[in-house]
Amino acid sequence: MAQTLRLLGASLLGLTDAVAAQRLQQIGPHYLPDLRARPWWHRLLLAFWNPFLMILAGLGLASFLSDLFFTSPADRSWFKEMLLAAMLLCSGAVRFWQERRAEQTIRPLARTVSRTVQVLRRADEQAAPMLRRIPLEEVVPGDLVLLEEGQVVPADVRLVSAQAVLLDQSLFTGEAMPVEKHDSEQGGQAVPRLRSRTDRSLLALLESPHLCLMGCNVIRGKAVAVVIATGSATVFSRLARQFLRRPLLSALQQELNQVSKVLLVSLLLMIACLLLIRGITRGDWSEAVLFALAVGVGLTPEMLPLVVTAALARGVIGLARVGLVVKHLPVAQMLGALEVLCLDKTGTLTEAAMQLVTAIDVSGQEQDRVLRLAALSVLAQQQGAAQGNDPFAQAILTAARQRGIRLPAGVVFGEVLPFDPIRKRASAIVSASPESASAMQRQTAALLLCQGSFEPVLAVSSAVETREGVQPLTEVSRLQIRRLARSLQEQGLRVLAVAYKPVETQRTRALASEEQELIFAGLLGLSQTLRQGVHRGIEALRASGIRLKLVTGDDERLAVRLGEEVGFDSRRVLLGWELEGLSENDLAMLAGQTDIFASITPLQKALIVRALQQSGAVVGYLGDGLNDLPALRRADIGLAVSGATGSTQTAAMVLMQTSELARLAAGIRVGRRVSRTIGKYLAITISSNFGNALSILLASLFLPFLPMLPAQLLMQNVLYDLTQISLAWDHLDPEELQEPHRWHLAPLLRLMLIMGPLSSLFDILTFLILWWFFGARTVTSAPLFQSGWFLEGLSSQILAVHLLRTHRIPFLHSRAALSLLLASGGALAVGFLLPMTPLGALLSLVPLPPIYFLWLLLVLSGYCLLTELVKRWHLHRFGGWL
């Protein structure tokens, strides 16, 4: 240790402010890899890094080269290329603006959960060291930091002094079992071997008993440590950079990638077919290339990244309004797919604060001595400070003061074995002066005090204190104690037990080995009240179609009483010991049938979440404490309630700025709005584009001219896309928000294969009308044909947005948002006026005879009627819509 301090230029008194400032300037802030803000130019490049935009850019380049080499200088207009460039720039720029806006919304909210660290600093060399709380970014090598239970190690550190430190290194090892750490370089428990191929240097660091790596969680104990590495020099940062190169894809990203692959394959096939058909049948390969490229542009959903980003950003802002902060944009959509929510009890459903109701001996009589021993145990855990964050400790000390119980003076607090969720008990050594020894009624130099859940304390007890004195703990007395505890639990009380035993002074450093053959003193009964609005929140979540599971480490009776109070089904309760030996399939079946899980360890909470996921459900976990970390990490969506520990907030994906569960239900509805909006855009776009491609293929087989010029197709696509953008601001039918929403590739493809040919049917009908009734059969009459199909195609596509956006009858039973109505009306107005403008003439669009609009009205009416009939059939056949 001395060598480490010397190499770092540090001391046990801490760094001075001047040295710390100098190192901060030299080394730089201690940023985490995923928290450093990207420069604006990097975000701008990422805004354009999208497969559809890349295809659009490629098509634009190919079109430019085709015009350059296959078109005479007199016929070049570059209109298509300018339009393509405008669409590309618009899509990427708006995506950049939306992501920047979302980031600006998240950043101030994220500051409310910013991390701070307690360090030992001095004003100058002569000043006394002081414990200060500074931002995580200002920590530098050589700083002395304080590590406490429930905290995440803020940097790579070397322990200087440690008290019973237990560290969770599963972030690096994948092993859930924590390991002991201490300030000695010798001995210690070896960490389990890594499952993955990791370099030997990392393995050596993890096995070092005195080193703690950034990102690990302190399960129990406290320590003072010297920082040896910060920022990019930490092991966590080096590994994180590898993960950031290949980031973990969210469910939304995976689904979008699947859709992208299908669309890209379809696009390439359509382009190839058009190229071959036009080239073989007409013999003009340059024209075939130009038209195939234009069709490729028309089929590319270049607004997909824009609409997705806009919907997600709008969802994040909506979540912030109801008090939910999400760390990543895709989480907004994942909330909409949430189907099962596991709830912790303490701090989530009940208030963290507790009140002591009773302190009784083994005969069931109130006994101040039991409360006095419990208060001494609490003070020993807190090293004499009559304050702390532990609600049990606060309740015990408050009750002792209220009852006028005087604690003995001259008490010396020794070694401490803190409470942890595995042992479910805490022990400490209390040494007393002769005066205080008589007050404790034991003529010994020291006492070992043990306090915790009554079964774990009872398990290490061999005697019991009665009015007649200390008696051996028989099976009869064990049964009596269990009945007494059960009676308190049936009253809805949390039950703690207190035990003790005299120890010799020279053996007080071997606390772990002395925690056996204790004298059982009595029981404590503590009460908790439900958090405000729990009943209303539970009802709102259930009304939203969320299946709720109560997962708690509390005793069965206490869990059942609370569960019944808030409406959980208590006919089947699954206990922690029942999980042992169950196969994954059996556990998945039982987990799906059970609402209340009691006496569950932290690792078993994660097993329950995994079992629920195996049934195909999207599972969330809502917790607030250290024992919820494994489940939060395992869940599809980890949520931390207001007031959760720092490590819990770090592990969670969603941070609740309020304790009201009704706000969470409102946030889930926001997520469903996001999910359905993206799903609707995909369904409508895929169906319309497939129908257009099919119509063009069919028309190319018999028409002596192009059914639509490339520039016309591009203009139609622009007008249609402008309408599509407004879908991100559309409102939904109320029943669409009542159930979780998950969209997959198969239903989208099914809708494409149904609705695409349906729209092509009316395109062909329009072709026949233009061919037979308006004589558009020759090359000279091609502008009339192209103008007629331009209007019909644009009108049917815009109508499809309103027809497919709802399972109801549009305009009558479900009206779109004003923004969508205005965008649709504006696009139609521009489309109908365009043939009469100079721009329309530039696009080779001509005014149509008035009688055509009557035919157009009949075609569009038939399209609307048949689409509604197919929708009814689809709802009846498949039981759902989009």
Residue 631 structure tokens:
């489940």
Bridge partners (DSSP) listed for residue 259: none
Residue 238 structure tokens:
């080096």
Residue 320 structure tokens:
């912030």
CB 725 within 8 A of CB 306: yes
CB atoms within 10 A of CB 51: 16
CB 413 within 8 A of CB 379: yes
| Cα(879)–Cα(18) distance, integer angstroms | 70
Residue corresponding to tokens 């406490």: 148
What residue spans of 408-490 are helical by DSSP H? 434-439, 454-459, 475-490
| Cα(587)–Cα(597) distance, integer angstroms | 12
Active site residue 34: no
| Cα(466)–Cα(476) distance, integer angstroms | 14
Residue 590 structure tokens:
């039982």
Residue 394 structure tokens:
């606060």
| Cα(858)–Cα(52) distance, integer angstroms | 36
Nearest partner of 103 among 328, 335, 336, 330, judged by Cα: 328
Q: Which residues contact 190 (CB under 8 A, 6 or more apart)?
A: 179, 207
Q: What angle do CA 516, 501, 520 make, to 5 degrees?
A: 75
Catalytic residue among 156, 344, 624, 763: 344
Q: Is 213 helix (H, G, I), strand (E, B) or coil?
A: coil
Nearest partner of 213 among 198, 200, 203, judged by Cα: 203
Q: How far is CA 540 from the centre of its chain?
A: 21
CB-count exposure of residue 849 (10 Å: 0-12, 13-18, 19+): exposed
Question: What are the Cα distances from residue 272, in Å, to 294, 299, 763?
Answer: 12, 13, 22
Q: Are strands 469-472 and 425-431 parallel, antiparallel or unpaired?
A: unpaired
Phi, psi of 116 (to 5 degrees): -130, 160
| Cα(654)–Cα(620) distance, integer angstroms | 10
Nearest partner of 205 among 219, 190, 217, judged by Cα: 190
Nearest partner of 726 among 805, 795, 810, 792, judged by Cα: 805
Active-site residue list: 344
